[in-house]
Amino acid sequence: MSPQIHSARWWRRPVLRCAIVSLAVTSTMTVVLTPPGAVATAEAASTLGAAAAQSGRYFGAAVAGGKLSDSQYTTILNREFNSITAENEMKWDHTEPSRNNFTFGSADRIANHARSQNKQLRGHTLVWHSQLPDWVKAIRDANTLRGVMNNHINQVAGRYRGQIHSWDVVNEAFEDGGSGALRQSVFRDVLGNGFIEEAFRTARTADPAAKLCYNDYNIEDWNAAKTQGVYRLVRDFKARGVPIDCVGLQAHFGSGGAPGTFQTTLANFAALGVDVQLTELDIAQASPNAYAGTVRACLNVPRCTGITTWGVRDSDSWRGGENPLLFDRSGNKKPAYEAVLAALNGVSTGGPIQVGVNYRLVAQHSGKAADIANASTSAGAGLQQWAVSGGSNQQFDFLDAGGGYYRIRARHSGLVLQVASSSSGADVTQQADTNATAQQWRVTDHGNGTVSLVNRQSGLALDVWAASAADGARISQWTYTGNSNQRFQLQRP
Ligand code: XIL
């Protein structure tokens, strides 16, 4: 039987809903203030940086200095990320455009922003064949080039001495393809393969506190010859006591995300006695599953100490046509953001859903079931919670919508749950099944018998309004928090 009496309250919007306020106090500690009536869950942090900090990791972004005057950009950056990498400003062409003429204006701006916002700062990069001025490329004499390279490292690393968490000392020195060898560059060609060791030794002296990383792309697949080449270099450095502390895996991925061997690669590098970091993460089309899988690979490796996405919004990306980042062009959180946040908060996605089976969705905080109001069979009827009644308007089955998403179909009506818009607080109603993205939900499995349901179109989670425990409380969508009013038990009626 369905509940019979519903006040008009369901249709009214509460005037004010208290949000979970998260204050990042330091980069490693978070205080969560929970409004009365809401249920605190200690493990759920509400920003990427705070969520990563729970396991001692950082979550950073590449920053373009010119965008620091864009308030939407800095709002997201300051709120979400606790590490910053200069996207271009610390590269050789910016810092030493002509010999011994050091220009630090744009790099300083980023370093100052990091300091004033209490963010960690990654250094990128000291020795790289690209974005390298022609005057360096033209050098043919080994002693001259050695002096130039070491002077560059001393000046740049020296300027930020004590401020840099990790330096990408050498970037992209290996060539693609099957050789596993160093690529052609002025450094290799004039100084020989030993230029990498020389650069690391100089960097250690220039900034003894910074972790010194070798950074590259296409070294995520353990089976790639390039990965093996870098592995041999790091193993050799560790064996001979050449100073190296970390390997940066750029993690510029296609739409499928990380290769299947990614976690193995991270673990194998870590086993050499270095940290690993995902230094430039972006994934074409930003599939939530691909992002979550990549992040979980890092979380599963204790020495994977942090993740940086290469930009903030899709409009900031060097791969802008591929929409590979966690925020859209308007600064909204994308579904991949929710997937990453959930992964950092220690939950897994996918879940125990069986297609074609009826479930009751029982809210964890209240013990009440998701319920189509008045057992209406009309399109547009809203979702609420009500005491478990056994009624078929409290039963739903899941239809596979592809790509890891499901439609959620009410048993009594045959209609599916749909969000009205992409706004927090927007209605969730039953509607005729069109398989629109507003009708598709990703299941986040909390691993303790509860799931959260995140809408594909909005990226927002199914949520009992203001964590109310009352019959008739509206179920709408809200920014994913992982709190218990967004967790539902899947009960077989
Ligand atoms: C890219 C920047 O994002 C672009 O703005 C610039 O034009 C080219 O370089 N690997 C790296 C990064 O190590 O420095 C590159 O950044 C992307 C690939």
Secondary structure (DSSP) of 372-427: EGGG--STTPBEEEE-----GGG-EEEEEEETTEEEEEETTT--EEEESSSSTT-B
For ligand 1, atom 3, the nearest C-alpha belongs to 318
For ligand 1, atom 15, the nearest C-alpha belongs to 87
- Residue 255 in domain: yes
- Residue 242 in domain: yes
Distances 487 to 67, 129, 364, 467, 473 between C-alpha atoms, Å: 38, 50, 6, 11, 15
For ligand 1, atom 16, the nearest C-alpha belongs to 87
Please, are residues 42 and 346 in contact by the beta-carbon 8 Å criterion? no
Q: How far, in Å, from the CA of 160 to the mean position of ligand 1?
A: 21
pLDDT score at 115: 97
- Residues 340, 376 share a domain: no
Examine the fold and report which residue of 328, 346, 364 is the final residue of a domain before the chain moves on: 346
Mind listing the pLDDT tens digit for each residue in 246-303?
A: 999 999 999 999 999 999 999 999 999 999 999 999 999 999 999 999 999 999 899 9
- Residues 197, 297 share a domain: yes
How many Cα atoms occupy the beta-carbon half-sphere of 151 within 13 Å?
Answer: 13
User: How far is 161 from 164, CA to CA, in rounded Å?
Assistant: 7
Q: How far, in Å, from the CA of 74 to the mean position of ligand 1?
A: 20
pLDDT score at 17: 37
- Residues 429, 314 share a domain: no
Q: What number does the ligand 1 atom closest to the CA of 62 have?
A: 3
**Is the four-CA dihedral 328, 333, 339, 344 of positive or negative sign?**
positive
- Summary mean pLDDT of the chain: 89
For ligand 1, atom 12, the nearest C-alpha belongs to 87
Nearest of 442, 460, 434, 457 to residue 405 by alpha carbon: 442
Mind listing the pLDDT tens digit for each residue in 419-478?
A: 999 999 999 999 999 999 999 998 887 766 688 999 999 988 999 999 999 999 999 999
- Residues 484, 405 share a domain: yes
**Other CB atoms closer than 10 Å to residue 239's CB: what's the count?**
9
Say which range, 130-144, 273-287, 337-351, has the weakest mean pLDDT: 337-351
- Residues 425, 279 share a domain: no
- The residue whose two tokens read 């995902």 is 278
pLDDT score at 21: 32
* 37, pLDDT greater than 90: no
- Residues 187, 50 share a domain: yes
Pocket of ligand 1 (CB under 6 A): 87-88, 171, 250, 280, 318
Q: What number does the ligand 1 atom closest to the CA of 91 have?
A: 14
Distances 74 to 65, 66, 79, 81, 114 between C-alpha atoms, Å: 11, 11, 8, 10, 11
- Residue 38 in domain: no
**Other CB atoms closer than 10 Å to residue 72's CB: what's the count?**
14
- Residue 27 in domain: no
What does R_g of the chain's alpha carbons equal in angstroms? 26
Ligand 1 mutation target, pool 63, 85, 88, 319, most atoms within 8 A of CB: 88
- Residues 355, 342 share a domain: no
Q: Confidence band (pLDDT; 50, 70, 90) for 24?
A: very low
pLDDT score at 10: 34
Q: What number does the ligand 1 atom closest to the CA of 317 have?
A: 3
* 36, pLDDT greater than 50: no
**Other CB atoms closer than 10 Å to residue 120's CB: what's the count?**
20
Comparing 393 with 41, the larger pLDDT belongs to: 393
Q: How far, in Å, from the CA of 476 to the mean position of ligand 1?
A: 41
User: How far is 348 from 291, CA to CA, in rounded Å?
Assistant: 12
Comparing 287 with 23, the larger pLDDT belongs to: 287
User: How far is 116 from 422, CA to CA, in rounded Å?
Assistant: 34
- Residue 219 in domain: yes
Backbone angles phi, psi at 451, to 5 degrees: -130, 160
Please, are residues 216 and 185 in contact by the beta-carbon 8 Å criterion? no
For ligand 1, atom 7, the nearest C-alpha belongs to 318
* 133, pLDDT greater than 50: yes
Examine the fold and report which residue of 346, 374, 409 is the final residue of a domain before the chain moves on: 346
- Residues 357, 341 share a domain: no
CATH of the domain at 204: 3.20.20.80
For ligand 1, atom 4, the nearest C-alpha belongs to 318
- Residues 190, 79 share a domain: yes
- Residue 206 in domain: yes
- Residues 363, 342 share a domain: no
User: How far is 109 from 24, CA to CA, in rounded Å?
Assistant: 23
Percent of the chain with pLDDT over 70: 89
Ligand 1 mutation target, pool 214, 220, 280, most atoms within 8 A of CB: 280
Q: Judging by DSSP bridges, how do beta strands 211-216 and 246-249 pair with one another?
A: parallel
pLDDT score at 404: 72
Q: How far, in Å, from the CA of 349 to the mean position of ligand 1?
A: 31
CATH of the domain at 419: 2.80.10.50
Q: What number does the ligand 1 atom closest to the CA of 311 have?
A: 3
Q: How far, in Å, from the CA of 233 to the mean position of ligand 1?
A: 23
- Residue 126 in domain: yes
- Residue 271 in domain: yes
Ligand 1 mutation target, pool 130, 176, 219, 252, most atoms within 8 A of CB: 130
Q: Confidence band (pLDDT; 50, 70, 90) for 351?
A: low
**Is the four-CA dihedral 57, 62, 66, 67 of positive or negative sign?**
negative
Examine the fold and report which residue of 346, 367, 382 is the final residue of a domain before the chain moves on: 346
* 34, pLDDT greater than 90: no
**Inter-axis angle of helices 195-206 and 142-159, to 10 degrees?**
30
- Residues 366, 332 share a domain: no
Please, are residues 327 and 337 in contact by the beta-carbon 8 Å criterion? yes
Q: How far, in Å, from the CA of 304 to the mean position of ligand 1?
A: 22
- Residues 395, 273 share a domain: no
**Other CB atoms closer than 10 Å to residue 51's CB: what's the count?**
26
Q: How far, in Å, from the CA of 300 to the mean position of ligand 1?
A: 28
Give me the catalytic one of 89, 172, 198, 220. Answer: 172
Mind listing the pLDDT tens digit for each residue in 147-198?
A: 999 999 999 999 999 999 999 999 999 999 999 999 999 999 999 999 999 9
Q: How far, in Å, from the CA of 253 to the mean position of ligand 1?
A: 14
Mind listing the pLDDT tens digit for each residue in 368-405?
A: 999 999 999 999 999 999 999 999 999 999 998 876 78
Query: How many whole angstroms from its chain centre is CA 359?
Result: 31
Q: How far, in Å, from the CA of 87 to the mean position of ligand 1?
A: 7
For ligand 1, atom 9, the nearest C-alpha belongs to 88
Q: Where in the sequence is the domain holding 275, given as residue range(s)?
A: 44-346
Distances 387 to 366, 381, 384, 390, 472 between C-alpha atoms, Å: 9, 18, 10, 9, 9
Q: What number does the ligand 1 atom closest to the CA of 318 have?
A: 3
Is residue 280 annotated as part of the catalytic site, yes or no? yes
Q: How many domains does the chain have?
A: 2
